[in-house]
Amino acid sequence: MEVGFVVGAALGVVLVLIGAFKLMWRVAEPNEALIISGSKHKLEGLEEGMGFRIVTGRGTLVTPGMQAVRKLSLDLNQTELHVDCVTHQGIPLKVRGVVIFKVGDDFVSIANAARRFLDQQKLMAERVHTVFAGHLRAIVGGLTVEDMIRDREKLTGQARAACGTEMEKLGLIVDSLQIHEIEDPTGYIKNLSAPHLAAVRRDARIAQAEADRLATEAEQLAFGRMAEATRDSEILKAGYQAEQDKANAKARQAGPLADAAARQEVVVQETRVAELEAQRREQQLQADVRKPADARAYEKRTLAEAERDALISVAEARAAETRATGEAEAAATQAKGLAQAEANRAQGLAEAEAIKARAAALAENQEAVVAQQLAEKWPEIVQAGASAFGNVDNMVLLNGADGMADLFAKALTMGGTGLGLARQLLASMNQNGPSPIQNGASPQGTSPVNGGAVPPPAQKVPVEG
């Protein structure tokens, strides 16, 4: 029992001591200072001891009942400045600003602030405003409006310097002083800035006008370049379109042109074949008709000449026998005339036979003779047909290659008209009856020698080429 009592008593004493320690122990926060009054303490910088103790940033024991503990805030404070001032020129102004201040961190500043604001910390901002308002009025009274406008830092520096001693006595320090605005109820600042503002506006208008001019020129230049680019683009497009249209036209005409070229080549080849055929027929006519007829005519002419020569020889012989008398000469002359007449008759008969042979050949081979004549004149016929296109600059073919073939065919068939005319002439001659030569009648015309018949010269049958 005694042991338990002792332990309980000891525990109670410990608890009492812990409670008493908590009551006696005080700790200062970083943003505050503990002001402990009830004992004298001597601080560095003070000649005389103070009736209180200052504790910052640590804990301390306080004797309850014998010492009192209060706190002094070390936080920042601010106060708004609204001060009516008059400048050196007598112009009223309103200065607007702000002061940021706090209790100094040293023990002297804390002690000064504790003596003045320990129980009146809420009135600290009002006191600071009063101090700065008085000094600002004094400072502004010695300055002009122009000085305040041009050098606001000067006003701020003078205000801080003037208030520094008084703030130090209050245990306060100024962290920041800012002059926000200087109001001019009379309009002096506005009038003061009017000339400069007018000049600025003038320069601004000039600059704006110059900028507008440059912008307009740039826009016009840009529009011109855009128009030029558009023009070049349209020209290129037109050129490309023209090339495309030309290519399409060539493509569309390629088939008809190819057909026309093919047909033209066919016509050329057919023309060459016709020429060769005409040449062949002419050679055939030469071999079958003309050469035999010429041979027979030559034979008869040769025989007639031989007979004539024989008669002449006989007559000359007879004349030689009777040369002594005039009768002999007359007889010789008569014989010579008879021989000459007989020779002429034989030659005429030979030519008549040749004409008859030609007429018979013409009657039997009209197509060959006409073809021969056409073959001889075929180049002139083709040239005459093609001359129809000689003066044509531009020719439009409505039906393509077929139209070209028709034109060539019509041009070439123009020469064929002669063939039809020749055939009509020959048919008319056959209807009127055979020629006198074919009937064996004597040809017109007589010879002056002995009244003998002399055949007329051969007449050519007209053939229209």
The domain locations on the chain are 24-74, 75-189, 257-439
pLDDT at 206: 92
What single-letter DSSP state applies at residue 216? H
What single-letter DSSP state applies at residue 459? P
pLDDT at 201: 87
What single-letter DSSP state applies at residue 328? H
What single-letter DSSP state applies at residue 388? G
Tokens of 180: 């926000």
Least trusted range by pLDDT, from 12-16, 167-171, 181-185, 409-413? 409-413
Among 95, 97, 96, 79, smallest CA distance to 87 is for: 95
Higher pLDDT residue, 363 or 337? 337
pLDDT at 382: 59
pLDDT at 158: 87
Distance CA(207)–CA(213), nearest Å, equals 10
pLDDT digit string, tens, across residues 384-399:
656 655 665 566 555 5
pLDDT surpassing 60 at residue 141: yes
Do the beta carbons of residue 129 and residue 79 sit within 8 Å?
A: yes
Among 115, 91, 240, 241, smallest CA distance to 171 is for: 115
pLDDT surpassing 50 at residue 441: no
CB atoms within 10 A of CB 3: 7
pLDDT digit string, tens, across residues 243-276:
888 888 888 877 787 888 888 888 888 888 888 8
Identify residue 318 by its one-letter amino acid code: R
pLDDT surpassing 80 at residue 357: no
Q: Reduced to 3 states, what is the DSSP secondary structure of residue 182?
A: strand
pLDDT surpassing 70 at residue 331: no
Tokens of 246: 């030309």
Helix (H) or strand (E) segment spanning residue 305: helix 291-321
Band of pLDDT at residue 458, cut at 50, 70 and 90: very low
Task: Considering only CA atoms, give the Rg of the chain.
Answer: 78
Among 344, 341, 321, smallest CA distance to 331 is for: 321
Band of pLDDT at residue 175, cut at 50, 70 and 90: confident
Query: In the chain, helix, strand, coil percent, each to 5?
Result: 65, 15, 20
Helix (H) or strand (E) segment spanning residue 173: strand 172-183
Among 453, 269, 284, 260, smallest CA distance to 368 is for: 284
pLDDT surpassing 70 at residue 312: yes
pLDDT at 235: 92
Mean pLDDT of all residues belonging to the chain: 75
User: What residues does 35 pair with on adjacent strands?
Assistant: 54, 70
For β-strands 172-183 and 92-103, DSSP reports them as antiparallel
Please determine, looking at this structure, whether the domain spanning 75-189 carries the CATH number 3.30.479.30.
Answer: yes
Band of pLDDT at residue 427, cut at 50, 70 and 90: low
Band of pLDDT at residue 407, cut at 50, 70 and 90: low
pLDDT at 244: 87
Band of pLDDT at residue 209, cut at 50, 70 and 90: very high
* Greatest mean pLDDT range, 54-58, 342-346, 407-411: 54-58
User: What residues does 100 pair with on adjacent strands?
Assistant: 78, 176
Instruction: Strand 68-73: give its sheet, edge to edge.
Output: 50-56, 32-41, 68-73
What share of the chain in percent tops pLDDT 70?
A: 69
Among 98, 93, 197, smallest CA distance to 147 is for: 93
State the distance between the two ends of the chain, measured CA to CA, in whole angstroms.
177
Residue 387 to residues 127, 262, 411: CA-CA distances in angstroms? 130, 21, 9
Distance CA(425)–CA(435), nearest Å, equals 14
Phi, psi of 43 (to 5 degrees): -105, 155
Higher pLDDT residue, 228 or 338? 228
Distance CA(464)–CA(123), nearest Å, equals 149
DSSP letter for each residue of 94-121: EEEEEEEEEE-SSHHHHHHHHHHHSS-G
Query: Within 13 Å, how many C-alpha atoms sit on residue 180's CB side?
Result: 9
Among 304, 303, 290, smallest CA distance to 359 is for: 290
Do the beta carbons of residue 343 and residue 455 sit within 8 Å?
A: no
CA-CA-CA-CA torsion sign (282, 284, 289, 294):
positive
Band of pLDDT at residue 329, cut at 50, 70 and 90: low
Least trusted range by pLDDT, from 48-62, 91-105, 114-128, 401-415? 401-415
